[in-house]
Structure 1
Amino acid sequence: MAPKKSKATTKPKEALYKFPESYYNLPKLLAKLFFKPGPESIISDQIITIDNFFSSEFCNELIKSFVGSLTLETTPLIKSKDYAARFNDRISLNDIEASKVLWTYLKDILLQDPGYQDEELDEIKSIFQDAHGLNPQLRIYRYRKGHHFGKHYDDSVVCEGFNKDTPKVTTKWTLLIYLTGDDEFKDGDTIFYPEFERNAKPGQTFNSDPNWAKSSIS
């Protein structure tokens, strides 16, 4: 993974879109589960995946809400020195409350105690135990046939407005959540390339195929 640059962002504005009520109950629902989704370290300190991050029913509820309440715009972007080629539908929401709910849910999964000794899970807990939260800027992408997003790395950004003790924080990881997958379509994979290996061969890459409610942290 290439080094991330820090980039300042403007203070998030109040979101006009309201997530479904069940979204805000995610942390409570997780606490009631006997078997919680578990993180898996694919590449130490670089890529973590969580299968069944959301239920398929909740994924469908989110998709229905997005389709009915949001207007995703097609935003083609020609490859340049600073940006990768991109052709997809997207929208960006600034929502501090929603990001806090999602972080509480994610944190409880990442820091959960499995009840047994596991070096991999201990490493994940050590990485995220001092994390403050998620970027309030939430992006929703839709990929249709022919859509794509070229090779790129995500910049670190400076986020404001978390709390009085940490008014500004810098992002270090990217959270991807797939809402569709399995047998619904072909391809649509996310490929992670080794650091600085722009022309890496298939055997040298990690291919994250989109499955129901799978999340990847990189």
Structure 2
Amino acid sequence: MAKDKTSKKTRLPPAHASPSLAQDPARKPPSWPAFKPRLPVADLDVDFPVPALADKIALVRNFWPKSLCRGYVTFVESLPLALTPGRPKRGEAVRVNDRFQVQDPAFAQRLWLETGIQELVLREPFRHLWGGEVIGLNPNIRVYRYCKGHFFDSHYDDANVVTLKQEAGVETTGKTTWTMLLYLTDDCVGGETVFFPHDREVEKEAIAISPEAGMLLLHKHGDDCLLHAGREVQQGVKWILRTDLVVRR
């Protein structure tokens, strides 16, 4: 799992936060629900909330219908979520949220082939953005739940080297280049994903993306990652499904 490089924020979460159980490498993948209705339900397009940062932040609205999001929330509520550690290791950002993490190449392949994301990112107007030839999605699947009082302090997402199985079982080495967050809910107060384009926490410069059920937020990570944070949830619950775009190495 990528480490999160911290800013200088020092606020700590409650002392009772316990070590996460979500990083068990032997965890068996769950039986993820089918994508019903069949995806995509509408023509997908990439939206750039800040045109000057089109090479770093992108949105795909209506990626999933709200009915599918609701079904997945019901399902992920049954997963063995665990609270993240209260005191992070040196060099990691302070975060308080519940999470589930699993290595699931089959589900990553389903997301890649059955949702329309493959066709979208390979479309000519956008394919130059991703840092190389996109070959699939990271099999490291993460589910995040942010309840009232949960947050993720300012940090950067690292890139990772992963191995994907391609046609005929051939393994290909790739590198993650963009974080891919799928919001499953939008009925919370707070919980915005906030980017700081000048690598400093200046509120008037902040670019805030509010959760929107069924919307994808993609942002570049690795060396070109923007400083970003998950604002504290004031009311309600924010659910996120995460993977990453993988390019041929």
Give the aligned partner of residue 178 of structure 1: 183
Q: C-alpha distance in 1, partners of 2:122/2:174?
A: 20
Tell me which of 96, 102, 122 is aligned to 2:105: 96
Q: 2:161 is matched by which residue type in structure 1?
A: V
Q: Is 1:46 paired with 2:61? A: no
The higher-RCO structure (CA 8 Å, 6+ apart) is 1
Q: Secondary structure at the match of 1:167?
A: strand
Aligned-residue offset at 1:107: 1.8
When structure 1 is superposed on structure 2, of 135-144 and 164-173 the one drifting more is 164-173
Q: Secondary structure at the match of 1:175?
A: strand
Q: C-alpha distance in 1, partners of 2:181/2:211?
A: 10
Q: Secondary structure at the match of 1:171?
A: strand
Q: C-alpha distance in 1, partners of 2:137/2:165?
A: 9
Q: C-alpha distance in 1, partners of 2:173/2:163?
A: 5
5 Å-filtered alignment, 1:113-152, equals: 122=125, 124-128=126-130, 130-152=133-155
In the superposition, the TM-score normalised over structure 1's length comes to 0.77
The runs of 5 or more residues in structure 2 that have no matched partner are 6-24, 220-249
Over 3 Å counting, the alpha-carbon distance change for 1:110 and 1:16 in structure 2 is closer
RMSD between aligned residues: 2.5
Tell me which of 190, 193, 196 is aligned to 1:187: 190
Q: Is the 8 A contact 1:38 1:110 kept in 2?
A: no
Give the total of aligned pairs.
Answer: 189
Q: Is 1:207 paired with 2:208? A: yes
Q: Is the 8 A contact 1:45 1:127 kept in 2?
A: yes
Aligned-residue offset at 1:165: 5.6
When structure 1 is superposed on structure 2, of 87-96 and 103-112 the one drifting more is 103-112
CA deviations over 1:191-211 (Å, ceiling 9, x no partner): 01215x222x23322101001
Q: C-alpha distance in 2, partners of 1:172/1:13?
A: 26
Aligned-residue offset at 1:65: 1.0
When structure 1 is superposed on structure 2, of 102-111 and 140-149 the one drifting more is 102-111
Q: Is the 8 A contact 1:76 1:88 kept in 2?
A: no
Q: Is the 8 A contact 2:180 2:217 kept in 1?
A: yes
Q: 2:103 is matched by which residue type in structure 1?
A: N
Could you say which structure has the higher helix fraction? 1
